[in-house]
């Protein structure tokens, strides 16, 4: 019995490691999350029964027990070097020329990979087990962050197979993906918790937590990119071979790493990655180009703290410093008033930026922003530029105060880049980065000064809407301030609403851009979206910068837009909290507008992804007589959509109310709820006489008793899964 339990425990560890690797390293899971969870629970149960069998590298042991008091220092056996930077094709060609000269014009191939904006770490594996993880520090010595790195699912605690050297060091970058960063912050915001400032900061701060439980809750990932200290007899010939071996041992390597045969191919790689920069799953600041042959690397050698055989090709910085000249308040489609910083123009993310969103008044307070402040601005890809922090001048700590003198915005970039990662200062800067960021979460707002002291640099919310003069309201506990006028009465809201209505994902009205909408609203020709369909060619053609031809084209586009889909129409209405995906779910669920218009909050809550807040907003929208009139008006003007098969009626559980209770072993309750909703059922939180069916897992309590009292049928999880299976819902 014990033997078989032991064998099962080993088997479970092996299986879980295998699936961990498929999921976290290879991004190719083979089993459902629920199956994985079941294996994990089984392992935990066995380990509870046999505590002395729990191995240090068991998949259950990623999070250690007690928090650390401090990080121990670790001296790197092989120094962690930094890289020379180049920013132009010419500089890259010069570097290439220097390599060629030193190697007597031997052919040179390169291994290129994205330079991820994260935190460099070194891992030591001994006999296939993770023995130590350290930060780069100043390149010579870093800090022991093993307990934290153990929590990162893509870092194996035990390597695959038995071919890895008995002891070796692997280096790589720990980072937070863009998607994980957003999801983490969305959840933190919803829970009223502090958010991460940016992915890089988030990664650095997460690794510097004394309590590994906090690190474990952060979505960290690692890509390995090179070997450090290497024991045993095996020596790779090339960088690419080293990467292949690392991957074979179960370490995660970047699939974007490519072998390129010459400088031209290298330039093509740089162009390709730059073009795809926004679409990559993580932030990068450039590409690392390495001579592929390790023999050539050895012969090229290193100069003070950076190798001659590699170079970092940097893309335009996505962050730069500038000054806030003023703050404007813009009114959005739903009346939300957004403060926008007017900036001294600065070159960032490849363009000159002069506006940056400040989101809301809470954000201004959190930043501690005042007019005239010097700030760090970030523009990544097509994302709206953001002010990410105020730079306290005169502290000299980060050297940024010195940037005051810099006139040319491009210079600001260069200087800033050098400060953070330049060839001469990068060793220091890398370690400072981590040390200067003891908190990776946004700091609490500073204590307020006496409001009686009127400070001209203080940024104040206007008391009246800048567009229509109506009072601005900011409900208790909400960070968003709004214009109190109805959408149809405030020109700013009207313009934004029309822009949304005409946008590509909504009614897709070609040629109806912001400038024209501004004209139409300002001349009073259009108040509501329905007015668009009543425009005539004469009036349109008479507008400045609008010829007869454009007027006719616009009318044609307007007429074409009348034929739409229910989902697009719902989205076009601009109901608060109803984005494109929610509109699609609503359309699929209700099939037509009439049942949606008349749906109660409870009816709405059963729609996939519609929670109580969204449901309330939808109901509120359709309860407003102005909105109902607008919808009628639009339909009266000929807006129509093909009938969607009324899914509700075709569904096997339509009209039934189900209740879930107890724990389901195989599926989270939220997923079970979705499955039921997908079959047409409503899922309620409590049992009544009208409940059609109760699904009860272990631990079901009061609801089960109620079901018995009312004579409501009860099924267990197995029966529930059978039902899902027969309905093709599994």
When asked if residue 495 is in the footprint of ligand IVH (CB under 6 A), the reply is no
Catalytic-role residue among 115, 178, 221, 673: 115
For the question of residue 115 being annotated catalytic, the response is yes
Q: Closest CB to ligand IVH among 175 and 721?
A: 175
Sign of CA dihedral 516, 522, 523, 526: positive
Contacting residue, 110, 225, 533, 721, with ligand IVH by CB under 6 A: 225
Tokens (6 digits) for 249: 């041992």
- Which of 222, 211, 220, 212 lies closest to 181 in space, CA to CA? 220
Please name every residue paired with 302 in a beta bridge, in sequence order, or none if there are none: 307
* Nearest alpha-carbon partner for 252 in 172, 181, 179: 172
Q: Which is nearer to ligand IVH, 81 or 248 (CB)?
A: 81
Q: Return the number of the residue (113 or 363) whose C-beta is nearest ligand IVH.
A: 113
What's the min distance (Å) between Cβ of 314 and ligand IVH? 10
Instruction: Name the minimum Å distance from CB 430 to ligand IVH.
Output: 6
- Beta-strand ranges (E) seen in 542-617 are none
Site track for ligand IVH across 161-180, x = CB under 6 A:
------------x-------
User: Of 96-125, which residues contact ligand IVH (CB under 6 A)?
Assistant: 113, 115-116, 120
Burial 502-524 (b: 16+ CB within 10 A, else e): bbeebbebeebeeebbebbbeee
For ligand IVH, what does the binding mask look like between residues 401 and 440, x meaning CB under 6 A? -------------------------x---x----------
Q: Is 288 in the site for ligand IVH (CB under 6 A)?
A: yes
Q: Which of 363, 358, 416 is nearest to 387 (CA)?
A: 358
Strands 657-661 and 682-684: parallel
**CA–CA separation, 549 and 22 (whole Å):** 58
Tell which positions 294-323 bind ligand IVH, by CB under 6 A: 307, 310, 312
Q: Round to whole Å and give the CA distance between 533 and 99.
A: 67
Eight-state DSSP code of residue 579: -
Handedness of CA 570, 571, 577, 579 (dihedral sign): positive
Least CB distance to ligand IVH at residue 391 (A): 23
Least distance CB 378 / ligand IVH (angstroms): 19
Nearer to ligand IVH, 317 or 391 (CB): 317
CB nearer ligand IVH, residue 260 or residue 704: 260
- Rounded to a whole number of angstroms, the minimum distance from the CB of residue 305 to ligand IVH is 9
Residue 81 binds to ligand IVH (criterion: CB under 6 A): yes
280 binding ligand IVH? (CB under 6 A)? no
Q: Residue 285 or residue 373: which is nearer to ligand IVH going by CB? A: 285
DSSP three-state, residue 611 = coil
Among 83, 266, 412, 677, binds ligand IVH (CB under 6 A): 83
- Containing 170, the helix (H) or strand (E) segment is strand 167-176
| Beta sheet of 119-126, edge-to-edge order | 129-135, 119-126, 167-176, 220-230
Cβ 81 to ligand IVH, closest distance in Å? 4
Token pair belonging to 139: 């390149």
Q: How far apart are CA 257 and CA 444, in angstroms?
A: 40
Task: Tell which residue, 439, 16, 30, has the closest CA to residue 196.
Answer: 439
Among positions 151, 185, 226, 584, the unique one binding ligand IVH when judged by CB under 6 A: 226
CB of 120 or CB of 220, closer to ligand IVH: 120
Instruction: For residue 246, state whether it binds ligand IVH (rule: CB under 6 A).
Output: no
Pair of tokens at residue 201: 């900061």
Q: How many residues lie near ligand IVH (CB under 6 A)?
A: 16
Q: Which residues bind ligand IVH (CB under 6 A)?
A: 81-83, 113, 115-116, 120, 173, 225-226, 288, 307, 310, 312, 426, 430
Show which residues are catalytic.
Answer: 115
């Amino acid at each position: 019995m014990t033997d078989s339990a032991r064998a099962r425990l080993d088997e479970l560890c092996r299986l879980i490691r295998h699936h961990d690797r498929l999921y976290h390293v290879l991004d190719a899971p083979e089993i459902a999350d629920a199956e994985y969870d079941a294996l994990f629970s089984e392992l935990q149960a066995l380990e509870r029964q046999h505590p002395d069998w729990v191995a240090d590298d068991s998949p259950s042991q990623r999070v250690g027990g007690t928090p650390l008091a401090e990080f121990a220092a670790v001296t790197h056996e092989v120094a962690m070097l930094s890289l020379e930077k180049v920013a132009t094709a010419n500089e890259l060609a010069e570097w290439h020329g220097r390599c060629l000269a030193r190697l007597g014009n031997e052919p040179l191939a390169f291994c290129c990979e994205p330079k991820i904006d994260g935190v460099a770490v070194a891992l030591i594996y001994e006999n296939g087990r993770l023995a130590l993880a350290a930060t780069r520090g100043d390149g010579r010595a870093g800090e022991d962050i093993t307990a934290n790195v153990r929590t990162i699912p893509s870092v194996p605690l035990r390597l695959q197979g038995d071919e890895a050297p008995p002891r070796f060091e692997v280096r790589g970058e720990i980072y937070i993906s863009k998607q994980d960063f957003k999801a983490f912050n969305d959840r933190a915001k919803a829970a009223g918790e502090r958010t991460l400032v940016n992915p890089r900061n988030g990664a650095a701060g997460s690794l510097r937590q004394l309590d590994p439980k906090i690190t474990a809750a952060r979505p960290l990932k690692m890509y390995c990119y090179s070997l450090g200290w290497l024991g045993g007899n095996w020596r790779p010939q090339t960088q690419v071979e080293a990467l292949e071996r690392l991957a074979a041992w179960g370490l995660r390597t970047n699939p974007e790493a490519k072998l390129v045969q010459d400088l031209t191919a290298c330039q093509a790689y740089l162009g390709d990655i730059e073009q795809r920069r926004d679409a990559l799953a993580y932030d990068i600041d450039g590409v690392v180009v390495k001579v592929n042959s390790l023999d050539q690397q050895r012969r090229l050698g290193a100069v003070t703290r950076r190798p001659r055989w590699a170079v970092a090709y940097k893309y335009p910085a996505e962050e730069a410093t500038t000054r806030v000249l003023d703050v404007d308040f813009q009114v959005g489609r739903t009346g939300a008033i957004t403060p926008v910083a007017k900036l001294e123009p600065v070159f960032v993310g490849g363009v000159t930026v002069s506006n940056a969103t400040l989101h809301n008044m809470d954000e201004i307070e959190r930043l501690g922003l005042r007019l005239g402040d010097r700030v760090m601005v970030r523009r990544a890809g097509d994302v709206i530029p953001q002010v990410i922090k105020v730079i306290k001048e005169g502290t000299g700590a980060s050297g940024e105060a010195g940037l005051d003198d810099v006139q040319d915005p491009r210079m600001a970039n260069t200087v800033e880049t050098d400060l953070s990662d330049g060839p001469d200062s990068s060793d220091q800067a890398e370690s400072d980065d981590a040390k200067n960021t003891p908190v990776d979460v946004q700091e609490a707002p500073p204590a307020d000064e006496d409001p009686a002291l009127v400070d001209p640099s203080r940024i104040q919310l206007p008391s009246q809407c800048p567009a229509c003069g109506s009072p601005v309201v900011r409900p208790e506990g909400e960070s968003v301030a709004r214009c109190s006028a109805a959408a149809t009465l405030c020109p700013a809201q009207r313009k934004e609403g029309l822009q949304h209505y005409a946008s590509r994902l909504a009614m897709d009205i070609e040629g109806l851009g912001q400038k024209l909408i501004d004209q139409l609203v300002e001349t009073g020709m259009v108040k509501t979206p329905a007015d668009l369909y009543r425009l005539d060619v004469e009036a349109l053609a008479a507008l400045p910068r609008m010829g007869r031809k454009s007027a006719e084209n616009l009318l044609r586009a307007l007429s074409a837009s009348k034929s739409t889909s229910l989902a697009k129409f719902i989205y076009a209405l601009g109901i608060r909290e109803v984005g494109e995906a929610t509109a699609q779910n609503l359309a699929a669920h209700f099939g037509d507008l009439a049942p949606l218009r008349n749906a109660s909050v409870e009816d709405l809550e059963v729609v996939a992804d519609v929670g109580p807040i969204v449901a309330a907003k939808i109901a509120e929208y359709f309860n407003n007589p102005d909105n109902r009139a607008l919808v009628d008006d639009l339909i009266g003007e000929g807006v129509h959509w093909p009938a969607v098969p009324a899914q509700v009626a075709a569904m096997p559980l339509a009209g039934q109310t189900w209740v879930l209770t107890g724990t389901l072993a195989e599926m989270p309750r939220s997923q079970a709820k979705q499955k039921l909703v997908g079959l047409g059922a409503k899922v309620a939180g409590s049992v009544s006489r009208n409940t059609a069916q109760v699904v009860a897992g272990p631990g079901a309590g009061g609801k089960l008793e109620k079901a018995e009292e009312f004579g409501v049928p009860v099924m267990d999880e197995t029966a529930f899964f059978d039902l899902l299976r027969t309905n093709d819902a599994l």
